[in-house]
Structures are given as C-alpha cells and as structure tokens.
Amino acid sequence: MKNIIGKPVDGANFFGRDRELRELRRICEDEHILLLAPRRVGKTSLLHALALDVSRDASAVGAYVSVAAAKGEPQFVEAVLRSIYETTAGKKLKPNPIATWLRRHGRRVRGIKVAGIGVDVDGYAAEWQDEANRAFAGILQAKQPWLILIDELPIFVLTIAAHDTTGERVRSFLQWFRNLRQLPEASAKLRFVLAGSVGLDSVTRKHRLTDTVNDLRDWRLGPYDAETADRFLAELARSYRMDVGPELRRRICGHAEWLIPYHLQVIFSALRDRARDATPSEAHLDAAIEDLLARRTYFSSWEERLRGALGAPEDAFARAILGACAHDPRGVAASSLQQCLAGQVPDPVERGKTARWLLDVLVNDGYLVEQARRWRFRSGLLRRYWERHVP
Amino acid sequence: MTTGKRLATAIYNPHLLERSDLVASFVARHALFNELLDDLRRGGKQHHLLVGARGSGKTTLLLRIAYGIEDDAKLARACVPLRFPEEQYNVSRPSDFWMNCIDALTDALEQHGDHQGATKLDAEVKALEDLEDHQRATQALALLTDWAKRSKKMLVLLVDNMDIVLERLREAHWPLREALSADNRLVVIGASTTFLQESLVYESPFYDFFHVHELGPLPEDEARKLVLGLARLANTPEVETIIAADPGRFKALYVLTGGMPRTLALLHGILAAGKNGRVEEDLDGLLDQLTPYYKARFDDLPTQSQLIMDAVALHWHPITAADCASHTRLGVNVVSAQLDRLCRQGLLSKVALPGASKLGFQVAERFFNIWYLMRASRRLRRRLGWLVEFLRVFYGEEDLQKRAEELLATPAGRSAERDAAKLLAFASAVKEPGLRRRLELSAVRALVDECCGPEELREMLELEGEDSHLAPVLDRVKAMRDLRARISRSRVVWPKGVTAARFADALACDPWLPTSMKLEFAEHISQHDRRPCQALNAQAASYLRPVREDTNFSPRILAGIGSGELPGLRNLATPEDVDGFAAMADDLGTELWKVILSSELLTTYQTPDSVIRRALEVSESIAPCLLQIAQAAVEAGQWPIARRRVLSVFEDATHRALTPVMLGFLQNFAQACVRSGLANQAADLLKEVGREERLLPLYEALRAAAAGPGASLAHLAPEVRTPAEDLLKFLLEPAPPPTSHALKGKRGRAGRGDRRTKRAGKDS
C-alpha cells in the first residue's frame, strides 16, 4: 500500500472501507444516495471503489464522473453521458454524431423570417433537458442496470445558483434530475449516488428546494474506527518497511483525533521524514507533530478567514465556539456551545439561532464536524494549533 | 569557461548549468530528492508541491529530479520528466498548459533520440491548433494521456512557479483538478515560493491536494557540505582552508545567509575571491554581488508594494500589519492586503511573534533585508543594526573588544559612510563605555572629515533619537574644524616661531577656555590684516607653550578637546562626556578627579548631577573629589551645592567603603562646615545619608561644635568619646589664611585660569 496524500486511491491503496462499501451496495439496490462528508474523508475513493465493485461482479455498470468543472446544465449532462459512454457497455449506446449534430443545429432555428429580420430559436431549458432525456432513454433501453456516481454535485449546483438569483434555474435542474430518478423505467435500472462535501442541503433550504432531493437517502461517510485506523497504519508501516509498534500507532491516532485516512497519512509521512532510516520512536513522532504545527502560514489562514468571511461580531462568536471546541479533542455538545455565546448574545432564542447558524458555517467551511452529537475540530492538528495560539 | 565561472553565472539560473555540474554540485536536499524518486519508483500517483523561499533550491531540485529519472535505468523506463521554462509566461488557459506539456514531451523525445515519436507528436499537435479553446484543451490532455497509456510511462510534470501557473488558470481549477485526480499517469512535482492559497482554502479544488514539502533553510552541516562541495567542484581549496581553519567565521556567515543555498553559493564565491579574514568585508563583497539581482527584484514591484517592503525591511524584526500601517501611514486594510500579496510572491514571510497569536511579517530572504538596509537606509545604525547582533555572536566579548580596537587603529577606507557605519555598529555591540565612546567619536570624526553637510548628518544619524548624545559632539567637532580653518585663513603676521597651525592647535586644545570663547578668539584673529598685532603677539606668545605639555591632563585628553571629541572643562554636560574623558585618560582616577574638580570650579558648581553620577559610576576615586568639592562649596557659601555633592557620594551607595582618603576629606568638609556655622547641618547630613552610626565620633563632634563652647562629650562611651574629642579639637581649629581654589601645585596654570574666568565673566 502506498501513502498517497490528496489524490483519490484505488486498488491496493484503497483500505478500510469494506463495511461502508457493503452498506452502500445494499442501499443502492433500492435507493438513490446522497453521500455527504467533509473534504478529504475519502468520498471519491469510495465512489471509485463502488463503481469498480459493481462492475466486477457485473451486478451493474458503474460510471464515475465529477461535475465540479461543469459550468452549466449542458456541460453537466455532457459530463455524465461521457462517463457512461466511456464504459465498455456504454460505448454501444453512444449516439451517431451526425444525428446528434443535425438534431442540435436543425432544432436550433425553427424559421427565418423574410429579409432575415427575425429568428425563432428554441428555448435554452428545453434543449438540454430534451437532449438528456433522449440520451437516458437510450441508456435505459440497454439490458444492464447502471450505477452512476456523480461527485461534487453541490459544487455544480452552487455554480449555477451563483448566476441565478431567483433560484429558478436551480429548481429547474434539480426538478429535472428528480424526474429522471423517478422514471418508472429507471427504478430498477438506473441508480445514482450523488456525492459532495459542501452542503447541498443549505442550497436547497435557501431556495426552498428540499422537495427536489427528498428522494435521496442521506448517507454520511465518517472517519475510520480505531481498529481500522490502527490496521491502516500497520499496513502503511509494513509497505514502507517501518517498525511502527502498536503504542506508536495509538499515539499517531491520538494526534490525528478524527481518524480519516488523510490525517493519518499526513502524520505518517511526517514521521517517515523525521525517522529517515532509524526505527521510528515517540520522540520522532513528537518532532514530526511539531514540524507539522510549525506551518504557521497554513494554520493561520484558518484563523484569518474567519475575520474575512464573517466580519464582526460574528467572527468573535465563531472564535468563542472554536475556542471551546479546542480544549476538548472529543468536542463539545451543542448546548455547551450555546453557553459560550451567553455573554455576547444574552437572548436565549437569538443565541440558539446564532449558534445553529455558526455551527453550519463552521462545518461547511471545514473547521468542525459533528460526531455523536458533539462538535469537534475536523483536524486534530488544527485543534492543537487553535488551543496553543488563538486566544 | 572554468567550472567556477559557470557556477557563478548560473547562481540565479540553474538551467544554465551543465548537467554534470548540476549533478556534482547538488549536495544538499538529498533526503528529499531520494524520497521523491522513491515515490516515483513505487508508482507515482502522488502529486507533490515543493514550497520554499527564493534561493532555497527549488529549481535546482526540479532539474536534479529530471536528471535523476533519466540516470536511473528503472525509472527511465517507467517515467518521462517534462521540463518547462521557469516562468510559463504563455499560460493563460488550460489549453496553453496542456500544449506546453506536449511541447515538453516532444523535447524529451528529441533529447532521447526518438525523432520519429517527436515528429508524430508534432503532427498531432498541429491538428489541434484550429480547434476552439475548450476542445483544444480536452484534446491536448487526451493526446498526452493517450501517449502515456500507450507507452506505459508516467509523465512527471516538473512545474516551477506553480503558484503563478495556478493563478493564471484560476478559472479552470476544477477541470485541472479533475485531470490530475484521474488515473492517467500524470504526476505533478510543482514548486512554489509560498503555500498555495488554493491549497489552504477549504472550498478550493486544490485544498490539501498536494503532498507539501517545505524547503527550509539548510542546517549548518548541510550548508557546510554545500560550500565545501562547491569548493571542490570549482577547485577553490582556499575556501576549504578557511572553513577548516575558522569554523566560527563560517558559522557566523551561515547565520546571515539564513541557510539559503543561493546565498551560500554566493558566499563560496566571495570566500574564494580571497579576503583578509575580516568577516565584515566578506559581507561587503557578498552584498556587492547581490546588488543587481536584488535591485531588479525591488524595482519590479509596484509603488505601494515598495512602500510596504521598505517599512518591513527597515524594521528588520518581524512587524505586525498594524505597525506597518502606522509606519507607512496607509490604511490597515490596504497594508494587510499588500502584505498578503507580498507573502504570496515569496518576498515576505509570516513569522510567529513570541507570546502572541498574531503573526508578524519580515523580509523572507534575510540577505535581501540586509542588502536593503545597507543600500536604502541612510540611518547608519539602522543600516547595520543586524551587524551588531552578528558581531556579538561571531566575536564573543573579548574578541569583539580586540576587533573594535583594531578598527579604531585602521586607517580610513574608501567610504567614510561605510567606516562610520561600522564604527557605530561596533559601538553598539561593545559593552565597555569608554571603548564605545571612542568608536562613536571616531565615527563622528569620519563623517565630519568627509565634509558631510548638516542635512546628510541628520539623515545618517538619529540625532533626535538613539544618537542624540552625539549631537553636541558633532557641533564641537565642526566648531574645532571651523576654528582651525579660520586661523589658517587668517592673514596675521605671526611672531617668529609661531605658525597658524601651532596656534590653532594650542587654542583648540586649551581645556580651560569655553568653546564659545575659542571661536570668538579665532574670529577675532581671522579678521586681522597683515599688520603685526602687538597684543596678539602677547597672546600668541602665551599660547606658545605647547598645551600638550600640560601635565594636568593626558595628551590624548588634550587632543580630544582640540578635535572637539571632548568638551572643554567648562562644558561638561552629559554622562557621555564623562565616558569620553574616561576613554582617553591615562590615569583614570586622577585625571577624572581633575576634570570634575575643574568643571565644578570653573562653572561655580553648576556641573549637571547626571555628570557627577556618571563620574562616580566610572571611578570610585571621584567620591573623595566630591567631598573636596563639597568643602570648597561650603567655603564659598554654597551650602545647597555642598549638601548635594555629599548626598551624591552616599545615596544609593551603602556599599561604598569609607576609605581613609574619604574619611580625611569628610573631616575637612566637616571642619569647613563648622567654620561656616553649619555644624548642625553637617551632622544632620550625616544622619540623612545613614552614616551617623558608622561615623559616630564625627557626628558627636559636630553636634558638640554646634552646641558651642562648653559642650561636653562626657556622655559618650570611652571608645567613642576619645576620638570624638580629637575630632572636636580638629573641627574647632582656626582657619588658615585664604588660598585659591586652584589645583594644588599648579599655581601658575591655575592663575591663568582665574584671569580667564574673570575676563570671561560668564560661563560658556
């Protein structure tokens, strides 16, 4: 197994998510899924693994696509269709390009008035939806079922929402997508797993569009449990021929706090750098942690962003909450966090609203995660930095 | 071109180095180099980002990786390194980036003799040129990845200035991320002067995307290896000799280079050029070499950035945004934005401030800061403030003193400014006040000799701040120069054996005359025409006796007064003046005594208290001198002055031993008090200074003297009564006939002083 930081992993490098994979497969049989998790938890790697898994046993054709780069609905559809057409089964379904061209350009102009004064053009919305519906109709005619894994959907939704103050475009898109998912012929043959780290729910709430996503089963990807994290580290150590004993592995987990592969990998990498050819020790680990914490530019950007993003007095409220969370690696209960704001927001109703809103922001912006009804720092290193340096 | 010259030429542009030279000179950062190659051997799949300040060796490392891949048979089969120009100026769209990658691949194929492959690729690229931009990007990427897939090779993109590339492609980050996330045999090893903003922002596509490796300063042993490696490569054994013979010198220079490979490489060049072992001169050479590069970098900045850089550089130590705003008088928001931008450009770095959560900002490349201070700051001390700390570390206390003495003895160099700056730096570094004073005075002399005008001097010296004590020195030095100039210009017919220079020297060095009077005299002489002047002859004659033979004071003191470095004895005004006399005295105790006593007598006890205190700190022998002065003051009817002088001897000085000499003067003082009807006051004073117990017999004798005739000491214990009775007898002795206040045994000289005092009729 290789220690890969940042890039999605597959094959031998994909580790420790067997339970999650089985669970997703089981749910996928009956429901579409909205897979949400903070960044760097391993969603993309899990999606890739799921696609590979279903394809391997031929229970479905898995097609992965990331739609973050899509600027509009046509590009979204194009990206999804491309991912389907690139599979072995999908190649046969790709429409004739000439027919596609004729359809696009033939439909574009219905008529030209005499002397070229007017041109009657098809509506934009109808066009891309029609294209998409036609393509999926073709796909659904194939025998095999499809599992389409769409990554970074919330990013795409936010992209179109940015140009859509009324919410109509977002509604139109999400409604179309819901309709696609709800097609009778799709129920057994077309399944979607939609993944993202930024809150889709906040967009849908803002524009009152929750009805467009209420058919999705909400599923969260969390950290490793302690045993899996330990096995992960043991496997990494084995592949790098490093003698990292159980106690040292336990300490690594202690430093990472929230046991996502990314945090474990970063610390493991820093430990490797420190130990070099020697047997890693606790002293090496402590020094490695200090090396990571010494990246003040990296950590201070989190602090500075609060000021920029929230302004006064909300950034002070946010700091109060983060300050409370910084003192306990296990995090703090919501009620206690509200109490942090008691001095600044005396009215309990207002305080509750403010706390809930701030927690939303802090989760969406990657500071905190919720685990077992407690709010904790997503990164153990960031928590330590905050505890040490932020008053 | 010799290897040494090639190395020197390529310092700012490693691309110019021959492969063999780069490989041979690559002696630092081996661990990271091996780690990256090892990662490629394990299959890549990891993108890396090398973050380091300018001159930290990023470009060299990227080049070394390319050669490392090509030189390793296994890696060469599995990977193709793609090298790009250091600045990819033509990149503004994703298609440009991918087309550059294809160009780099074509170059690589050509280099390895695969002309057919290169030609084929060229033809395929041509077909993309007429496509619409988005299509061109997609197709170019597909061309690249298809080639990699067909050849079963990884393409290792060695991208310098990654931050600039990403900034130019900011509208296309998500597609770029997706391209790099796919399993398509592309590996990026990028280099950047700062952490990528994109990797810090949670919502950003590249958040925590790269495995970051920081290229920090080289530790000392690696730095030494680097310089020694360069010495071997460039065949400069003298550098090896210097480092072996004087490890401390290397250590000090290493500290200043900040462990930056580029600056260390420059340092090698300077050491190789051969100097005389003076580290300050090594630094001068290094800074000269860096000037074109640093000047260009600074000139390239927009005006507002230059203002900010100026404030940060002049501050030397890390500065907060708020303080920077205050210095530049710009708004805090504007300053914060500029500081962030300069950090992103790698010119500034954020530094933890001790005991604070805020970060400070400092010039990232410390040598750039030093260069800036040396070139841009007119304030001499500020210019070399960094040198002060360096000198303390490098020389250690004892050697620092020795080096400072050597500097004082060194003749003036080409630039008085540089000489003065060095002298002031040493002055700030040494602890011994006398030596400090001499260094400062030499600095002043150098500047005045260079004819620096008042405006220039105000720029170079902080006459309202740290150098305020030098302001009167500057004035005096200029005045004495002026005096000598006036006399030398005069058209007086000098008596036989007298020259203008001798006369000027005698006048200037006279310790008794106030400065104003000397100048008046010089003015008077300069206005005389050629007619002989009898009165002048008489005066001139009186100055013929070389003042420097005056045995009251050392020749150095007299010379110091003559040059203006020291004030005349009527003009003692500051504690620094005391330091000046102390520095030049041959016999500190005696001469300082004479100086203080003369000052008090000439000014009728108006010597500032701060001068008195300083003299006491410098020499304990002043204590009895002050008691002598107190006695004279009592005799002159100046009880308040006398009281002050006695207080200054004993206050805050419980440790001060009562030596026999002091006891003698104290008794004389007491006697003078009794004779002036101040016996009770004297006794009270003894009590006030807490010495009545220690000096009980004297105390009791004073009380008895105050009580008048018939006062009895019978109540005292015998061991106290007997000495008290002796002292009482002494105290009541009748006064001798009046005598002058001049120094005993120097009546002739003192007499002249008296006549001058009367003639002056005033203090200076």
| Interval B281-298: pLDDT, tens | 677 777 777 787 788 888
The answer to whether B619 touches B655, Cβ cutoff 8 Å, is: no
DSSP structure string for B288-340: HHHHHHHHHHHHTS-HHHHHHHHHHHHH-S-B-HHHHHHHHT--HHHHHHHHH
Average pLDDT (B137-164) is 93
Long-range contacts of A19-27 (CB under 8 A, 24+ apart): A20/A46, A20/A221, A21/A46, A21/A49, A21/A50, A21/A53, A23/A219, A24/A50, A24/A193, A24/A219, A25/A50, A25/A53, A25/A54, A27/A217, A27/A219
State the DSSP H helix or E strand holding residue B460, giving kind and residue range, or none if neither.
helix B454-460
B195 and A CB contact within 8 Å:
yes
Instruction: Output the pLDDT for position A115.
Output: 33
Instruction: Output the pLDDT for position B655.
Output: 65
Task: Name A217's bridge partners.
Answer: A33
Report pLDDT digits (tens) over B686-743. 999 888 888 999 999 999 999 988 888 888 888 889 999 999 999 998 887 765 544 4
User: Between chains, do B47 and A389 touch, taking CB under 8 Å as contact?
Assistant: no
Task: Determine the distance in angstroms separating the CA of B86 from the nearest CA of chain A, rounded to an integer.
Answer: 25
Instruction: Output the pLDDT for position A92.
Output: 76
Report pLDDT digits (tens) over A27-84. 998 899 999 888 888 899 999 999 999 988 888 899 999 999 888 888 899 899 989 8
Rounded Cα distance between A128 and A78, Å, is 9
pLDDT score of B603 more than 90:
no
Tokens standing for B137? 């990007």
Instruction: Output the pLDDT for position B538.
Output: 56
Rounded Cα distance between B65 and B36, Å, is 8
Average pLDDT (B536-542) is 55
User: Between chains, do A68 and B42 touch, taking CB under 8 Å as contact?
Assistant: no
Structure confidence at residue A118 as a pLDDT band (50, 70, 90): very low
Report pLDDT digits (tens) over B662-688. 899 999 999 999 999 999 999 999 999
Per cent of chain B over pLDDT 70 is 85
Instruction: Output the pLDDT for position A90.
Output: 83
Q: How many CB pairs under 8 A join A and B?
A: 82
3-state SS class at B28: coil
* B350, closest residue in chain A (CA to CA): A297
Pick from A242-251, B20-29, B705-714 the range whose average pLDDT is largest: A242-251
pLDDT score of B188 more than 90:
yes
* B215, closest residue in chain A (CA to CA): A295
The answer to whether A47 touches A64, Cβ cutoff 8 Å, is: yes
Considering chain B, what is the average pLDDT of its residues?
82
Buried-state track A46-77, b at ≥16 Cβ within 10 A, e below 16:
bbbbbbebbbeeeebbbbbbbbbbbebbebbb
Tokens standing for B543? 């100055």
The answer to whether A379 touches A263, Cβ cutoff 8 Å, is: yes
3-state SS class at B199: helix
Structure confidence at residue A150 as a pLDDT band (50, 70, 90): very high
Tokens standing for B136? 């061109």
Rounded Cα distance between B540 and B521, Å, is 11
Tokens standing for B705? 């003297």
Instruction: Output the pLDDT for position B743.
Output: 40
CB contact set of A155 (below 8 Å; sequence gap of 6+): A67, A68, A196, A198, B174
Interface list for B 333-362 with A (CB within 8 A)? 343, 349-352, 357, 359
**Range name among A126-140, B138-152, B413-427 with the lowest pLDDT average:** B413-427
User: How many CA within 13 A on the CB side of residue B719?
Assistant: 1
Neighbours of A140 (CB within 10 A): 17
Predicted complex: ipTM over 0.90: no
Type of residue at B166: L
B177 and A CB contact within 8 Å:
yes
User: Between chains, do A2 and B202 touch, taking CB under 8 Å as contact?
Assistant: no
**Bigger pLDDT: B372 or B551?**
B372
3-state SS class at B130: coil
CB contact set of B247 (below 8 Å; sequence gap of 6+): none
Report pLDDT digits (tens) over B38-66. 999 988 888 999 988 778 899 999 999 99
B175 and A CB contact within 8 Å:
yes
Structure confidence at residue A107 as a pLDDT band (50, 70, 90): very low
Neighbours of A86 (CB within 10 A): 13
Structure confidence at residue B759 as a pLDDT band (50, 70, 90): very low
- Closest Cβ–Cβ partner in B45, B197, B205 for A7: B45
Instruction: Output the pLDDT for position B746.
Output: 38
User: Between chains, do B174 and A155 touch, taking CB under 8 Å as contact?
Assistant: yes
Report pLDDT digits (tens) over A153-174. 988 988 888 877 777 888 889 9
How far CA A195 is from CA of A11, A42, A200, B254, B278, in Å, comes to 21, 11, 9, 52, 66
Neighbours of B674 (CB within 10 A): 24
User: Between chains, do B180 and A7 touch, taking CB under 8 Å as contact?
Assistant: yes
Pick from B353-357, B489-493, B546-550 the range whose average pLDDT is largest: B489-493
The torsion angle over the Cα atoms of residues B570, B574, B578 and B583, rounded to 10 degrees, is -110
Average pLDDT (B614-624) is 87
C-alpha closest to that of B668 among B753, B595, B731, B734:
B731
Report pLDDT digits (tens) over B310-337. 999 988 888 999 999 999 999 988 898 8
State the DSSP H helix or E strand holding residue A159, giving kind and residue range, or none if neither.
helix A153-162
Instruction: Output the pLDDT for position A120.
Output: 35
pLDDT score of B747 more than 60:
no
User: Between chains, do B183 and A10 touch, taking CB under 8 Å as contact?
Assistant: yes
Average pLDDT (A355-368) is 87
Q: Is A58 left (phi over 0), alpha (psi -120 to 50) or beta?
A: left
Type of residue at A353: K
Whether the full predicted model's pTM is greater than 0.90, yes or no, is: no
User: Between chains, do B208 and A7 touch, taking CB under 8 Å as contact?
Assistant: no
How far CA B681 is from CA of B1, B626, B654, B672, B709, in Å, comes to 90, 18, 21, 12, 18
Instruction: Output the pLDDT for position B78.
Output: 93
Instruction: Output the pLDDT for position A202.
Output: 67
Tokens standing for B287? 């800074």
B84 and A CB contact within 8 Å:
no
Report pLDDT digits (tens) over B190-223. 998 877 877 777 778 898 899 989 888 888 888 9
* First vs last C-alpha separation in chain B: 69
- Closest Cβ–Cβ partner in B31, B47, B200 for A7: B47
Q: Chain A interface, mutation test: which of B149, B181, B201, B207, most A Cβ atoms within 10 Å?
A: B181
C-alpha closest to that of B181 among A5, A121, A346, A50:
A5
3-state SS class at B214: strand
Rounded Cα distance between B202 and A39, Å, is 8
Q: Where are the alpha helices (DSSP H) in A29-152?
A: 43-56, 73-85, 88-91, 97-108, 124-141
The answer to whether B433 touches B579, Cβ cutoff 8 Å, is: yes
